Amino acid sequence: MRRVGVAGALAKTSADVPAMGGDGRQIALPRSDLDQLRASIRGLVLLPGNEGYEQARKVWNGSFDRRPAIIVRCAGAADVIETVRFAAAHGPLLAVRAGGHSMSGQSVCEGGLMLDLSMMRGVRIDPLQQVAYVQPGSLLGEFDREAQSFGLATTAGTVSHTGVAGLTLGGGFGRLSRSYGLTCDNLRSVDVIPASGKFTVANARENPELFWGVRGGGGNFGVVTSFEYQLRPTRSMMVGGALIYPFSQARELLKFYADFARAAPDELWIEPAIVPTSDGSREVVFSVCYSGEPSDAEAALRPLRAFRKPNKDHVGPARYIDLQTSSDEVFAYGRCYYVKQGFLERIQPELVDVVVEHIERTQPALVVGFLHLGGAQSRVAAAATAFPHRNAQHGILLASIWSDRSESAARIDTARSSWRVIEPYVRGFYVNDVTADHTQQTISENYGSNFARLLALKRKYDPHNLFRLNANVPPNG
């Protein structure tokens, strides 16, 4: 209560606003400059105690209960320019929030400035050119729905309330990436506001090096205020759903899957996960999407169905946008999450043995899933965009999900010790799954041979590391 009282008073006084600097030092944001910022934007400047502040600071991962000193809710690119200039002039710790799905809570910061793009939600489809113009606060489900109403789509992630912006800037894979490549491979152009506050267009003709960097380099170089995507004709009815097997078959199924998935056509996306069930046991759930001719789906899945008959077979004709929302509840907004992920060039039988044995022995309250990558996204050269992990045919991911924050330490501890068993097998990680456990050296090395180019871009577009809450490329190398 006291906290709210003090915050409320601060919102009303003319005192300077104490804030956390990007370098960790305490700073004061001059009230007159804040008032000027408020007067110059169409959106909202919220301080603790202001109406809407409590709602605006919430992000997808309920583990992060952080209180920014200021939240600027931008209504358009002009607001972003003003806010970036304000941040560059005064140096608060800056968090950029789009869909708010950062696994590690990087889109909200304690005591800093949260630049909130979630009011910028426009999606415009040009069906003749098969192009989409998407504002950065848009969610994948909004983008999918607009594009599908014209029989179009591009690669999106597998949970529809994820943000388009963060996903694209880190790479972006999902049900269609084996056919269409990563989301960032389908990007045609972006508008970016770098640390200078200067509106900058980046595409194959204008600022091509920056365009290269935003495709996998995350939010390191500035705030993207518009995304332009190439869309593709995409059927609305596909074949998809889940095949469910008993956990007792996990070893043989996952070893079979390793070869089956490798030989699968690009149109087949199939991801197995070992999932705890409500009766305290586990099952193996294969999520399926076949995006090619529906009549070919049966043949594509036949080897798996013939290998072991599933307990439950829920695979059949399904609308693409329904498949895209089918995992939304499992990863509902506001619960607590801890996720670890790594890439795999192949699923070695030894890894399967290690994972299944670990689960049998320790019974961790975790979901362990394999990503199905490869296909078109692997036929792009590692240096063609900043996303370097083109050889990865799979990823492995573990997720702990809970609701009571008092369980957080124990949950994270369990997930970390389970990850220690898996970690020796992975080669790099997805920048969008960066965690506080990753050291700066690991993050820099994860960009592989693309790091030197990213560093040069960082020095040009963000020399003082204003945009540091990401898989950071520090300008000092």
Residues that bind ligand FAD (CB under 6 A): 60, 96-103, 106-107, 117, 136, 157-159, 162-163, 165-167, 169-174, 218-219, 223-224, 331, 432, 469-470
User: Smallest distance, Å, CB 191 to ligand FAD?
Assistant: 10
User: Smallest distance, Å, CB 39 to ligand FAD?
Assistant: 24
Q: What does the DSSP assignment read for 121-183?
A: --EEEETTTTEEEE-TT-BHHHHHHHHHTTTEE----SSTTSBHHHHHHH---STTHHHH--G
In the complex with ligand FAD, which residue's Cβ is closer, 258 or 434? 434
User: Smallest distance, Å, CB 249 to ligand FAD?
Assistant: 26
User: For 82-127, what is the HEC assignment?
Assistant: HHHHHHHHHCECEEEECCCCCCCCCCCCCCCEEEECCCCCCEEEEC
Pairing of strands 237-246, 312-313: antiparallel
In the complex with ligand FAD, which residue's Cβ is closer, 111 or 166? 166
In the complex with ligand FAD, which residue's Cβ is closer, 100 or 374? 100
How many whole angstroms separate alpha carbon 472 and alpha carbon 256? Answer: 38
User: Smallest distance, Å, CB 178 to ligand FAD?
Assistant: 13
User: Smallest distance, Å, CB 141 to ligand FAD?
Assistant: 12
Q: Could you tell me the two tokens for 55?
A: 């709602």
In the complex with ligand FAD, which residue's Cβ is closer, 162 or 186? 162
Question: Are the beta carbons of 139 and 162 closer than 8 angstroms?
Answer: yes
User: Smallest distance, Å, CB 471 to ligand FAD?
Assistant: 8
In the complex with ligand FAD, which residue's Cβ is closer, 208 or 334? 334
Pairing of strands 131-134, 152-153: unpaired
How many whole angstroms separate alpha carbon 477 and alpha carbon 468? Answer: 13
User: Smallest distance, Å, CB 470 to ligand FAD?
Assistant: 4
How many whole angstroms separate alpha carbon 392 and alpha carbon 31? Answer: 50
In the complex with ligand FAD, which residue's Cβ is closer, 188 or 308? 188
251: left (phi over 0), alpha (psi -120 to 50) or beta: alpha
In the complex with ligand FAD, which residue's Cβ is closer, 168 or 418? 168
Question: Are the beta carbons of 171 and 213 closer than 8 angstroms?
Answer: no
